[in-house]
């Protein structure tokens, strides 16, 4: 059955005109709001030195230059005071080991932007593997998701004029070999899904027009997207095509290079599947009956890929979740698979090797009790991998490790950007409305008094199976912790901290559970007398912007200030704005009356009331955000102002969904944000005895 689309009239929504992103009227409104916000916050005591300090942190040459290895050289994209838009550069691994490596510039974005008179923002590069000296560089105008693709010669350090070059669009290209790529882009009318992503894949040969590219696959218009890639592992070369039906459902096909015939990989639609050498790995979001066994949701299974295609289903479990554990990440080296496991929202690493038909495992002795990240240097030729270790108070550290050994080499360590000595980290639990225990981290000074007067910032996300784990931030440390603020990170449902079950507990008609969890943490903070409503601020972005918008409209008395960043707020029209249709698997379909019945109950734009009393809000967004429409924040701010509520609004003209395109803009955004929070949460009543 076709989905019914309901159009909204200007009478029903008097602020529809603010959805016209670049109209003179809308930008005039934005300019006036920006001027008001900057006039107030930029004039506040401490704003100027804070902004300068944050810019220094963001521009610091002592930050870790994270790299990817290709053909023996380490590639890094870098921004600092002398490179506003950034440079793509490279060095050798031996040189990278040094405290101050000598870098070779591969591409200077500041120069390119000047030469072409474009506001280019780096969007990444895809290497031709296992070797070949070419890459596909992606560039975005102003930081949006849509980007151009240009083939780049890594030996001549120049774009290939007649190479694989694509016009601006969402999607892109991936290598088949040096003379062919898969292309998923905007081929014209009918080639994009309702979500705005490519649904048509073609194989494009060098030296031929894009119009002559050979069709490979075509997804449905109401699917999310389609993509294709080549597994270049020697001896296991395969082509894959994926139909992304929704955010959590997909079909996977193996493509025969000669005939183009597709063979479907018989996996559950809501499971992820991929190959590692001769093995097929399947990660489950729901329980699955296969091979005479019932495998639990959240499990990771392995089987020989050829055997699976021939009908075998004798899987071996690589990871089985428990009540407190979930799979957080997967890294690959030449001979091993490295699983990053979340155990009570703290990471540990398990190493797996497939030997003589069986999987052997061992726990890797990794330092720290926070977040761990694993990335293989060269999964074809090397057993070495990068190991990143971080937590709230310890600057991130990068090691070079080797599968099969617990020895590691210290490569880089971020300097301390704030004095963490006086601080400590605690982990507590709040009890939600249904009795579930919701963990959260608290970062505070060791001498913090439980008197209800501490300025406290509560951050949450709660969606799309995204896990919030400990992290080190010089910006948060300097702008908040160093001033005596308390920082709280909530691990509410909707996230992935405890696997698919934690996410699905707040999916669609259960969405209110994520909001209830967040509100329970806020209440628990007050019950512990760590803070009180007048000193408690909340912040969230994107789906987290929806979270704090719902918290604002449902329980305004719990908070003293709200920062709502690049948010979803109008849940009646979210699916008609930019990429919104792709998120109906998360929120539901507002055009379905039964689903709108529960969506409408929490949609912040529809729940804000003229006669309610709200804490002060700062809305931030970006004109160039082509993922979450800036109209959400614009309309909510305009409606609240019309109702007489006190708020501030700031919209950056660049930056995409990140909200800022360079360090200058990032420093301004965070200085405004933390100045607002500090003013609102410290101007209240004096501390109680």
pLDDT tens digit string along 223-246?
999 999 999 999 999 999 999 999
Residues 471 and 428 in one domain: yes
Whole-Å CA distances, 466 to 31, 265, 492, 500, 674: 34, 26, 10, 10, 24
* Maximum alpha-carbon separation in the chain: 79
Residue 222 pLDDT greater than 50, yes or no: yes
Whether omega for the bond prior to residue 130 falls within 30 degrees of 0, making it cis, is yes
DSSP state of 88: E
Residue-wise pLDDT for 356-368, tens only, equals 999 999 999 987 6
What mean pLDDT, rounded, does the chain reach?
95
60, part of any domain: no
Domain shared by 337 and 443, yes or no: no
> Of 369, 397, 415, which residue constitutes the final position of a domain?
415
Share of the chain above pLDDT 70, in %: 96
Instruction: Evaluate whether residue 378 is within a structural domain.
Output: yes
Q: pLDDT tier at 166 (50, 70, 90 boundaries)?
A: very high
Residue 4, pLDDT score:
45
Condensed to tens digits (0 to 9), the pLDDT of residues 479-504 reads 999 999 999 999 999 999 999 999 99
Residues 6+ apart with CB under 8 A from 76: 65, 66, 67, 88, 89, 90, 91, 103
Specify whether 494 is located in the same domain as 626.
yes
- How far apart are the C-alpha atoms of 112 and 119, rounded to whole Å? 9
Same domain, residue pair 507 and 566: yes
Residue at 23 is within a domain:
no
Average pLDDT over residues 644-673: 87
**pLDDT average, residue stretch 618-642:** 95
Question: Same structural domain for residues 423 and 436?
Answer: yes
* Cα distance between residue 371 and residue 315, in whole Å: 30
pLDDT of residue 641: 97
pLDDT of residue 662: 83
Domain contains 517? yes
Co-location of 402 and 535 in the same domain: no
For residue 655, the domain's CATH number is 3.40.50.1820
Which pLDDT tens digit goes with each residue over 40-97?
999 999 999 999 999 999 999 999 999 999 999 999 999 998 999 999 999 999 999 9
Please give the C-alpha separations between residue 458 and each of 287, 561, 562, 672, in angstroms, as whole numbers.
Answer: 34, 10, 10, 17
Yes or no: say if 655 and 143 are a contact pair by the CB < 8 Å rule. yes
Q: How large a percentage of the chain has pLDDT more than 90?
A: 92
- Choose one of 362, 386, 415: the last residue of a domain: 415
Q: Note the pLDDT tens digit of each residue in 236-293.
A: 999 999 999 999 999 999 999 999 999 999 999 999 999 999 999 999 999 999 999 9
Q: Are strands 249-255 and 238-246 parallel, antiparallel or unpaired?
A: antiparallel
Say which of 326, 467, 542, 582 is annotated catalytic.
542
Average pLDDT for residues 457-465, to the nearest whole number? 97
387 and 525, same domain (yes or no): no
The predicted structure's pLDDT at residue 134:
98
pLDDT (0 to 100) of residue 659: 65
Residue 52 in domain: no
Tokens 């521009």 belong to: 59
Q: Is the pLDDT of residue 558 over 50?
A: yes
When pLDDT is averaged across residues 91-116 and rounded to a whole number, the result is 97
Does the pLDDT value for residue 3 go beyond 70? no
Whether 657 is a known active-site residue: answer: yes
Would 488 be classed as within a structural domain? yes
3-class DSSP assignment, residue 656: helix
Neighbours of 672 (CB within 10 A): 24
Element (H, E) at 52: helix 47-59
pLDDT digits (tens, 9 = 90+) for 410-452: 999 999 999 999 999 999 999 999 999 999 999 999 999 999 9
When computed from its CA atoms, the radius of gyration of the chain, rounded to whole angstroms, is 25
Is 631 part of a structural domain of the chain? yes
Domain range enclosing 554: 418-662
Q: What is the DSSP letter of 627?
A: S
Are both 574 and 651 inside the same structural domain?
A: yes
- The answer to whether residues 605 and 585 belong to one domain is yes
Question: How many folded domains does the chain comprise?
Answer: 2
> Same structural domain for residues 351 and 471?
no
Do 460 and 432 fall into the same domain? yes
Q: Mention every residue, 6+ apart, whose C-beta is less than 8 A from residue 395.
A: 413, 414, 415, 416, 417, 472
What is the C-alpha to C-alpha distance for residues 91 and 74, in angstroms, rounded to an integer?
5
What is the Cα–Cα distance from 169 to 579, expressed in whole angstroms?
A: 13
Looking at residue 426, what is its pLDDT? 96
- Together in a domain, 579 and 435: yes
Question: CB–CB of 137/152 below 8 Å?
Answer: yes
Q: How confident is the model at residue 144 (pLDDT cuts 50, 70, 90)?
A: confident
Q: Which of 83, 147, 535, 657 is catalytic?
A: 657
- Which pLDDT belongs to residue 5? 46
Picking from 363, 380, 415, the residue at the C-terminal end of a domain is 415
- Whole-prediction pTM value? 0.93
pLDDT digits (tens, 9 = 90+) for 603-612: 999 999 999 9
Q: In sequence order, what are the residues at sequence separation of 6 or more whose Cβ sits closer than 8 angstroms to the Cβ of residue 460?
A: 468, 489, 490, 492, 518, 521, 538, 540, 544, 547, 548
Do the domain assignments include residue 229?
A: no
């Amino acid at each position: 059955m076709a989905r019914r689309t309901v159009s909204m009239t200007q009478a029903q929504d008097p602020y529809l005109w603010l959805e016209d992103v670049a109209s003179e009227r809308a930008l005039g409104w934005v300019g006036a709001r920006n001027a008001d916000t900057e006039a107030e916050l930029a004039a506040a005591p401490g704003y100027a030195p804070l902004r300068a300090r944050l810019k220094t942190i963001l521009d610091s040459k002592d930050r870790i230059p994270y790299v990817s290895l290709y053909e023996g050289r380490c590639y890094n994209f870098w921004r600092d005071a002398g490179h506003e838009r950034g440079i793509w550069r490279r060095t050798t691994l031996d040189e990278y080991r040094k405290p101050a490596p000598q870098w070779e510039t591969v591409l200077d974005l500041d120069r390119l932007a000047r030469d072409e008179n474009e506001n280019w923002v780096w969007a990444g590069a895809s290497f031709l593997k296992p070797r070949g000296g070419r890459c596909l560089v992606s560039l975005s105008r102003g930081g949006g998701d849509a980007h151009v693709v240009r083939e780049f010669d890594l030996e001549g350090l120049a774009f290939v004029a007649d190479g694989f070059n694509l016009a601006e669009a969402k999607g892109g290209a991936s290598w088949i070999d040096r003379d062919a790529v898969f292309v998923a882009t905007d081929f014209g009318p009918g080639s994009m899904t309702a979500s705005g992503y490519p649904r048509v894949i073609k194989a494009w040969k060098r030296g031929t027009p894009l119009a002559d590219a050979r069709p490979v696959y075509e997804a449905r218009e109401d699917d999310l997207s389609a993509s294709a890639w080549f597994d270049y592992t020697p001896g296991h070369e395969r082509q894959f095509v994926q139909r992304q039906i929704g955010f959590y459902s997909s079909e996977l096909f193996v493509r025969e290079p000669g005939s183009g015939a597709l063979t479907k990989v018989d996996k559950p639609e809501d499971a992820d599947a991929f190959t590692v050498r001769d093995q097929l790995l399947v990660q489950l979001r729901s329980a699955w009956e296969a091979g005479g066994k019932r495998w639990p949701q959240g499990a990771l299974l392995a089987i020989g890929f050829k055997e699976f295609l021939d009908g075998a289903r004798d899987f071996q479990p690589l990871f089985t979740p428990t009540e407190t554990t979930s799979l957080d990440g997967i890294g690959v080296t030449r001979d091993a698979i490295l699983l990053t496991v979340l155990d009570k929202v703290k990471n540990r690493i398990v190493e797996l090797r497939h030997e003589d038909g069986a999987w052997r495992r061992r726990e890797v002795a990794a330092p720290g009790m926070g977040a761990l990240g694993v990335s293989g240097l060269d999964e074809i030729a090397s057993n070495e991998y990068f190991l990143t270790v971080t937590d709230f108070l310890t600057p991130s550290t990068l090691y070079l490790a080797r599968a099969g050994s617990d020895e590691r080499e210290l490569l880089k360590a971020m300097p301390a950007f704030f004095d963490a000595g006086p601080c400590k980290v605690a982990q507590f639990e709040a009890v939600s409305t249904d009795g579930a225990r919701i963990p959260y981290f608290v970062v505070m000074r060791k001498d913090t008094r439980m008197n209800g007067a501490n300025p406290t910032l509560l951050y949450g996300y709660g969606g799309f199976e995204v896990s919030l784990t400990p992290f080190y931030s010089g910006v948060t440390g300097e702008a908040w912790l160093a001033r005596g603020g308390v920082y709280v990170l909530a691990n509410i449902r909707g996230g992935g901290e405890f696997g698919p079950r934690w996410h699905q507990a707040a999916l669609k008609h259960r969405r209110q559970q994520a909001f209830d969890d967040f509100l329970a943490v806020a209440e628990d903070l007050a019950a512990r007398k760590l803070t009180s409503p007048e000193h408690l601020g909340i912040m969230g972005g994107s789906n987290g912007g929806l979270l704090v918008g719902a918290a604002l409209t449902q329980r305004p008395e719990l908070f003293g200030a709200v920062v709502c960043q690049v948010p979803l707020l109008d849940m009646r029209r979210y699916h008609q704005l930019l990429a919104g249709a792709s998120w109906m698997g998360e929120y539901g379909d507002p055009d379905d009356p039964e689903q709108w019945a529960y969506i409408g109950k929490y949609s912040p734009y529809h729940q804000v009331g003229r006669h309610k009393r709200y804490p002060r809000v700062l809305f931030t967004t970006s004109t160039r955000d082509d993922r979450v429409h800036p109209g959400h924040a614009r309309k909510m701010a305009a409606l609240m102002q019309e109702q007489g509520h006190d708020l501030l609004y700031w919209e950056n003209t660049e930056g995409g969904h990140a909200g800022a395109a360079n360090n200058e803009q990032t420093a301004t955004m965070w200085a405004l944000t933390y100045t607002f929070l500090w003013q609102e949460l410290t101007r209240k009543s004096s501390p109680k005895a």
